[in-house]
Structure 1
Amino acid sequence: MKLLAGLSLLSIVPPSLCVPTASLYQVNDPTKVEQPLIKLKPQQNPLRELVSLDGLWKFALASGPNDTAQPWTAPLPKGLECPVPASYNDIFVDRKIHDHVGWVYYQRDVFVPKGWSKERYLVRAESATHEGRIYVNDHLLAGHVGGYTPFEADITDFVAAGEKFRLTIGVNNELTHETIPPGEISVGEFTGKRTQTYHHDFYNYAGLARSIWLYSLPRQHIQDITVVTDVDGRNGLINYDVKVANHTNGQIKISVIDEDGKTVANASGAHGTVKIDSVKLWQPGAAYLYQFQANIVDTHGKVVDTYSLATGVRTVKVSGTKFLINDKPFYFTGFGKHEDTSVRGKGHDQAYMVHDFQLLNWIGANSFRTSHYPYAEEVMDFADRQGIVVIDETPAVGLNIALLGLSGGESQTFTPEGINNNTQAAHKQAIRELISRDKNHPSVVMWSIANEPASQEDGAREYFEPLAKLSRKLDPTRPITFANVGMATFEKDRISDLFDVSCLNRYFGWYSETGDLAEAEVALEKELRGWEEKFNRPIIMTEYGADTIAGFHSVLGLPWSEEFQTQMLDMYHRVFDRIGSMAGEQVWNFADFQTTIGTMRVDGNKKGVFTRDRKPKAAAHGLRARWTNMDTRD
């Protein structure tokens, strides 16, 4: 096996990766602190308090790549301030900051509320792209590798309630062949400038792109909740598991509350099943959410902690060539998206979020894929409330050395010097953290564990088979998939039998048969029928599209014109309508987005049916006409 190169997996995996932790840091490294897997999102309620630390923070670049050998936790110099949440790259009119490779520092003063003296209190970062460290005054309290999932530091023993402390968060944007996503760093021969390259086609925005919180917990508190829903006739079932921090002599009491505020079911115990009579189901386009409320009640009947989890009762399964939600065939319409806007980069923005969902509704989309990383938790919560279906994806994009033409010839992705066991270990951790964070969202109907890997190459099966097994072990209730790349055809792919749904990214008419839609139509249909005959299961086209310059028109329908984009999508739809196992179509992309600037991309990828500032191209109207008149495909 070329991936393992004669070594057993555990022989080269750091010990901390053999258990589910949120940090890839090793215990024996004094600069790195191990963290438990993050569970519940903080919330405000009568027994928990939540303080937003969003706003302007002091900001500085590290003086060099080894700067954190002596962590910069003293007060930062006056000068730069950076908004949180936002990527820092496009904020400043400074090419040095825009192109920076390495560590940066955010810093601000924070007060712990005086009333928290009997509580535990923590600092939580929703993300730090791609590595983060939390310092309180001069103490390093938490470290985390992985740019799109949360981590936190318990600061109770370092700052007293009512005191002020200096909070510093270091963020490192470096990618290597052992990170998820992978990349390489080169050093200029003449200038010594460090340059980051990577194998994915979106810009490597960095910084604190999501919210930072200070929050309190009771000493004895609910640490995690897992719910799995089912339907029995007209009744809904919520199978639940509640974990508490520290031993409790009290009882776990469960209440289920409907949208009118009425309690419709009760239960006791940390594990069990709650039955809801005449249940109202969570359905695509018609979300209904119950509040699953867990309480710790002490021996005197006093509630010492409470947590309320929005819960939609629904079922998901694959049957033959159908994807079923609540035992009804569901046909995905929508997009691959990106967290990407002008100036903010990947910074989460509530206004853009709401507007994007409005555009999804206007165009008739019922779903999206979180290409190619977990989105902000606020987006997932909003999808739950809006009834939008989500394919939830890990940050494993770029596991394909040849894809962007970086190999210079014959490529080999899975090697000791390339995508190796340490990469696989980081990938496993990304899967653990994604499922741990998003397992309770009714909108999430499928896990995608990678985008466009080299699944046709030697070593692919050895790399992916343990990941597929881990995904099923962590969540046996949802189907799993990955987005298959065009070069890994149904004849060449080596891993698709490990998964439940064929998700295909295809660009016939653009990257191949360029501009020749008649030739592309034949090639596309041949490819789809090959997948249909081989697996006889649902097929979702998770990417198809063409770069299009808004306002560029051609009576001949030439590539890059709005006419060509419309005609190309129409061609794909004709083929989809002839394939019985098609279960969905998600256009690439929802909106134009930023990429590395070079000879291949001028100010980003232009495959959006909306511009980067959300103006519709002609294709948007064509999609709206199709999707708003589409019922189901039985």
Structure 2
Amino acid sequence: MKSWFRPRIPLDGFWKFKMDRELVGDREEWYRGFSSADLIYVPSSWNEQNPEWDQFTGVAWYQRDFYVDGSLKGKLAWIIFDGAGYRARVWVNGNFIGEHEGSFTQFRFGVGSIKYGDLNRIVVRIDNKPSVSDLPPARELNVTAFDFFHYGGIHRPTYLEFTDTCYVDDVTINAGGDGSFKTSIDIVCNRRVDVKLALMDKELSEVLFEEMIRDVEPGRFRYERRFNGVRPWSPEDPNLYNFVVEIYTDGVMRDSVYERIGFRTIEVRGGKIYLNGRPVFLKGFGRHEDFPVLGKYMHGAVLIRDFYLMKKIGANSFRTTHYPYSNEHLDLADEFGFMVILEPPLCYSGMDRILSREEIAKLFSSEEYFTKARRFVEEMVKQYKNRPSVIMYSVTNEPPSDIPEVAEFIKRMAHLFKELDPSRPTTFASHRSIRDLALGHVDVISLNYYRGWYSEWGDIARGTEVMLKEVEQIHQRFPEKPIIITEFGADAYLGLHSDPPQMWSEEYQAEMIRSYVEVLSKRDYVVGLHIWNFADFRTPQNPLRTILNRKGIYSRDRQPKLSALILSKLFKNIPTFIE
């Protein structure tokens, strides 16, 4: 939820920072305050801010002082982290206020120990030591089940927000392309309230509809109506509106929040994905939130460049590989009309590198592990459920789903998504191809293929042929399900050229992408193509990586490779709507 009414104190900027290599901080009570000559900038991961911190995994402490004006006394104080971790524990003025596991979802704690009209101190203990039970799992920094760098720190913005004792705790919205509208509003108050609802234009300058509902009982309030004349949201015309909720007691406003919404309907039927009743084709990328020095934080200027580059190339979609992205990232997806497949941090690409087949089966059969995954998914859905850009949920990425226990886990997770949000279809990105046991448990089949790179290397034609044969076999098994190729591509070192195309050259990458796009776009059961990856990104160290995964069609600092030009020509020949 957004709000212009709630006072806010940003905590971006320089913090004191201290590594705790010997794990003495808890015993020495650093949470009460500590001395350190080191400074760090928030938001950003710690790793690239100082070469001495780069390869560190473990516990580090953050500290900052902030002032709270006396005029805020009597309000409830909340500290909100948009993303920090992997594990975060938080103290304010020496008082423990909460802990959270997971780097990529927002969390908040109530703060009852604020000193008004005075300075306050926040201390945050971050622990990013890897574990096979983490999401995603790893044994150590360079032995992981995922192929992206394991950053640590306060990655995203952090701030204090103040509410009245009567406030809106949550808003859930379902706005259909036909103007249908349903909302449930969670209200906290010790007395009945009046609720004012308004639909406003994108710029919050014109009220299109307004209604006051009197004498509402606190708790969950449900409201439903149809808005005539609204323009639906789509990639070609991403119309946005603002839904405003205000609560009053005795004629005095106690809270005001709003959500940016788009009216759109997404459904899967007859082997197609329909947006507002029209079959749609997804053209785009897997991405990563990764940038030099900043680590997992994506500055607004970087995001703006990314979205203009994606628009220039003819893309209309992306998957949040392999974790939910920042609020700013999804704000721009809403704004630019990008369709998003939202994915939690359940990434298992190299699970067999860290566990045996028997250990994998045991882990995925564990009720404790499912409960943890459920908590991560619940947080993600709650944060992003109202966004028009989010059209689908990906349950997981590249699980070892040729193992029956893993397939059962995926089935349970897919049911969980439907339980939490029945308005969106589900998928998961499979790299087990025809051996996958879980493809029938989701609405859309998503397949990752690197034939011509990790196998059939050096022979793009043969790799493409083998890939296409397997895709057609899967289609024959599930003819009613649309198929998206959610990953394909090849590494290319910027500036390395070869005639004829050879592996690691820009020409080889461009030729492999061209080959896949040309054959797959002719299959009417294929309804989406996502290149891996939009830009080069940092990875764990191993013999297959030169610091970065270089499958990006742009370099890590967003300079184009030859494949960017080739892909632009290919994508622009594929319409968004395929009727």
Q: TM-score range by the shorter chain?
A: over 0.9
On the 8 A contact 1:489/1:527 being kept in 2, the answer is: yes
On the 8 A contact 2:361/2:406 being kept in 1, the answer is: no
Equivalent residue for 1:28?
Answer: none
On the 8 A contact 1:175/1:196 being kept in 2, the answer is: no
Q: Could you tell me the percent identity over the aligned residues?
A: 30
Give per-residue Cα distances to partners, 1:432-462, cap 9 Å, x unaligned. Answer: 1110100000000001121000011131133
Distance 1:82 1:538, change over 3 A: same
SS of 2:297's partner is: coil
Equivalent residue for 1:579?
Answer: 523
Equivalent residue for 1:387?
Answer: 337
Give per-residue Cα distances to partners, 1:248-280, cap 9 Å, x unaligned. Answer: 311222111123633222343631113221111
On the 8 A contact 2:166/2:189 being kept in 1, the answer is: yes
AA of the residue aligned to 2:343 = E
AA of the residue aligned to 2:137 = P
The alpha-carbon deviation at position 538 of structure 1 amounts to 1.1
Equivalent residue for 2:283?
Answer: 333
Equivalent residue for 1:286?
Answer: 237
Residue 169, structure 1, aligned to residue 114, structure 2: no
Aligned match of 1:91 in 49, 64, 69?
49
Describe how 1:12-91 pairs up with structure 2 within 5 A: 40=1, 43-46=2-5, 48-65=6-23, 67-68=25-26, 71-91=29-49
Unaligned 5+ segments in structure 1 are 1-39, 186-194
AA of the residue aligned to 2:478 = F
On the 8 A contact 1:413/1:454 being kept in 2, the answer is: no
Q: TM-score, normalised by structure 1?
A: 0.87
Describe how 1:427-466 pairs up with structure 2 within 5 A: 427-466=373-412
Bigger drift between 413-422 and 393-402 goes to 413-422
Aligned match of 1:274 in 202, 225, 238?
225
Q: TM-score, normalised by structure 2?
A: 0.95
The alpha-carbon deviation at position 583 of structure 1 amounts to 0.7
Equivalent residue for 1:633?
Answer: 578
The alpha-carbon deviation at position 44 of structure 1 amounts to 4.2
Distance 1:248 1:290, change over 3 A: farther
**Distance in 1 separating the partners of 2:329 and 2:126:** 23
RMSD, aligned α-carbons: 1.8
Distance 1:542 1:511, change over 3 A: same
**Distance in 2 separating the partners of 1:274 and 1:163:** 47
AA of the residue aligned to 2:4 = N
Give per-residue Cα distances to partners, 1:347-396, cap 9 Å, x unaligned. Answer: 23111011111111111111111100011111111211111111110001
**Distance in 2 separating the partners of 1:53 and 1:499:** 41
Residue 530, structure 1, aligned to residue 451, structure 2: no
SS of 1:204's partner is: coil
Give per-residue Cα distances to partners, 1:448-490, cap 9 Å, x unaligned. Answer: 12100001113113322221111110000000111101xx222
Unaligned 5+ segments in structure 2 are none
Give per-residue Cα distances to partners, 1:186-229, cap 9 Å, x unaligned. Answer: xxxxxxxxx66311111101101100101111110011000001
**Distance in 2 separating the partners of 1:466 and 1:69:** 41
Describe how 1:23-422 pairs up with structure 2 within 5 A: 40=1, 43-46=2-5, 48-65=6-23, 67-68=25-26, 71-94=29-52, 97-155=53-111, 157-185=112-140, 197-232=143-178, 236-259=179-202, 261-267=205-211, 268=213, 270-298=221-249, 300-398=250-348, 400-402=350-352, 405-406=353-354, 411-412=357-358, 414-416=360-362, 420-422=366-368
The alpha-carbon deviation at position 574 of structure 1 amounts to 2.1
Matched residue count: 569
Give per-residue Cα distances to partners, 1:148-171, cap 9 Å, x unaligned. Answer: 11222211x212321211111111
Equivalent residue for 2:565?
Answer: 621
The alpha-carbon deviation at position 321 of structure 1 amounts to 1.4
On the 8 A contact 1:53/1:211 being kept in 2, the answer is: yes
SS of 2:328's partner is: helix
SS of 1:68's partner is: coil
Give per-residue Cα distances to partners, 1:111-141, cap 9 Å, x unaligned. Answer: 1122111211111111112111111121110
Residue 519, structure 1, aligned to residue 480, structure 2: no
**Distance in 2 separating the partners of 1:612 and 1:446:** 27
Distance 1:152 1:71, change over 3 A: farther
